[in-house]
């Protein structure tokens, strides 16, 4: 089958498009999909580069997000037939531990993500647990479903489940163009919140505005935590969503109002920062970490995507052979929204 593989960690150049990779066979409880669309996440860049302690079976195939057609059923699979249109929940959990039994799959001790430790969707075929499938309604494209998966479930779990965002609250989203940020803008808007966005260019901010952002702050033109303070009558915002980390967390805390919540959902600029704990107890701020989502959050947010109430932003559609080009686009921050591939 066609696939984009790598045999060692490193820069984009380690990626290879091949046409003779063995087609995987589904084991017990698993299903093989013919991939109709896959989508790129920052996770795929991190996995390609590797990190201490990450040991993969090489060659590796990246890709967490995908949608396609059921192609083969492993033993003990029921409820699906060959030809079903489906989208993949990219969260892999054991299904048996106390967290999984309590419906908190993203806290599973064996939690991982498709394409992170297992071979993913940048291929013609992928094998996934049958319980990770969700039926795709007619009229919803594979590309839209693949583009939605990881970023929408991540944004939904952080803002709604963990963050408890409510109508009438204010939320600041740090960063305009990334997949999680575009999803967060839409979900915050749908929840009835007032949405502030900090971005790095007028162009990205204009696109954030088109998605429903109410207040736009250009971080090249002013100190953005001061701008938030000024724009909120010196109160700050109720909720900040930060996936940048080291570069922004200090300002994110300063932008919060008293009793505010900081949702930490990633650390693309690095994991360490200096924390003045007086802000925490003085302003009674909550730090809330969030990653991925349990199954029921995936179903809830995808139902809104299927209903057209959330619209995934596709910034580039490329053939599978151009996965390396997708990595370059994302690395340079040269795309607004998701990069989608079709085999």
What residues line the site for Zn ion (CB under 5 A)?
93-94, 97, 100, 108
Q: What single DSSP character describes residue 79?
A: S
Angle at 253 between CA 249 and CA 164, to 5 degrees: 100
3-class secondary structure, 321 = helix
Smallest distance, Å, CB 300 to Zn ion? Answer: 20
What radius of gyration do the chain's Cα atoms show? 20
State which residue, 108 or 323, has the beta carbon closest to Zn ion: 108
State which residue, 105 or 219, has the beta carbon closest to Zn ion: 105
Our measurement of the distance from residue 148's CA atom to the centroid of its chain's CA atoms, rounded to an integer in Å, reads 8
Look at the block and give the residue holding tokens 């010196």.
234
Q: Is the peptide bond before 59 cis (omega within 30 degrees of 0)?
A: yes
Smallest distance, Å, CB 93 to Zn ion? Answer: 5
State which residue, 74 or 95, has the beta carbon closest to Zn ion: 95
Smallest distance, Å, CB 321 to Zn ion? Answer: 36
State which residue, 33 or 100, has the beta carbon closest to Zn ion: 100
State which residue, 49 or 161, has the beta carbon closest to Zn ion: 161
Smallest distance, Å, CB 98 to Zn ion? Answer: 8
Q: What is the DSSP string of 170-198?
A: EEEEE-SSSHHHHHHHHHHHHTT-EEEEE
Smallest distance, Å, CB 118 to Zn ion? Answer: 15
State which residue, 94 or 288, has the beta carbon closest to Zn ion: 94
Burial of 30-63, coded b for 16+ CB within 10 Å and e otherwise, reads: bbbbbbbbbbbbbbbbebbebeeeeebeeebbbb
Smallest distance, Å, CB 100 to Zn ion? Answer: 3
Nearest residue by C-beta to Zn ion? Answer: 108
């Amino acid at each position: 089958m066609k696939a984009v593989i790598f045999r060692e960690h490193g820069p984009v150049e380690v990626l290879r498009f091949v046409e003779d990779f063995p087609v995987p066979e589904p084991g017990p409880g698993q299903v093989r999909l013919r991939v109709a669309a896959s989508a790129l996440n920052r996770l795929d860049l991190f996995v390609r580069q590797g990190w201490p302690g990450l040991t993969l079976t090489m060659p590796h195939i990246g890709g967490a997000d995908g949608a396609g057609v059921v192609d083969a059923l492993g033993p003990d699979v029921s409820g699906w037939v060959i030809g079903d249109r489906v989208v993949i929940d990219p969260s892999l959990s054991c299904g048996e531990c106390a967290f999984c039994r309590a419906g908190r799959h993203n806290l599973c001790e064996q939690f991982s993500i498709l394409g992170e430790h297992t071979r993913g969707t940048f291929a013609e075929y992928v094998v996934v647990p049958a319980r990770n499938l969700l039926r795709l309604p007619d009229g919803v494209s594979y590309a839209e479903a693949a583009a939605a998966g990881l970023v929408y479930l991540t944004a939904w779990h952080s803002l709604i489940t963990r963050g408890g965002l409510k109508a009438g609250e204010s939320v600041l989203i740090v960063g305009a163009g990334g997949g999680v940020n575009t999803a967060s803008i839409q979900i915050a808007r749908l929840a009835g919140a007032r949405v502030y966005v900090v971005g790095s260019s007028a162009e990205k901010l204009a696109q954030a505005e088109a998605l429903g952002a109410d207040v736009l702050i250009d971080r090249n033109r002013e100190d953005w935590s001061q701008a938030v303070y000024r724009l909120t009558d010196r109160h700050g915002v109720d909720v900040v969503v930060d996936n940048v980390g080291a570069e922004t967390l200090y300002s994110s805390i300063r932008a919060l109002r008293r009793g505010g919540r900081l949702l930490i959902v990633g650390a693309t600029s690095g994991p360490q920062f200096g924390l003045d704990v007086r802000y925490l107890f003085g302003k009674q701020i909550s730090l809330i970490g969030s990653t991925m989502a349990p199954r029921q959050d995936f179903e809830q947010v995808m139902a809104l995507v299927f209903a057209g109430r959330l619209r995934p932003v596709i910034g580039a559609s490329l053939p599978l052979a151009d996965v390396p080009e997708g990595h370059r686009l994302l690395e340079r921050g040269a795309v607004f929204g998701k990069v989608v591939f079709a085999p």
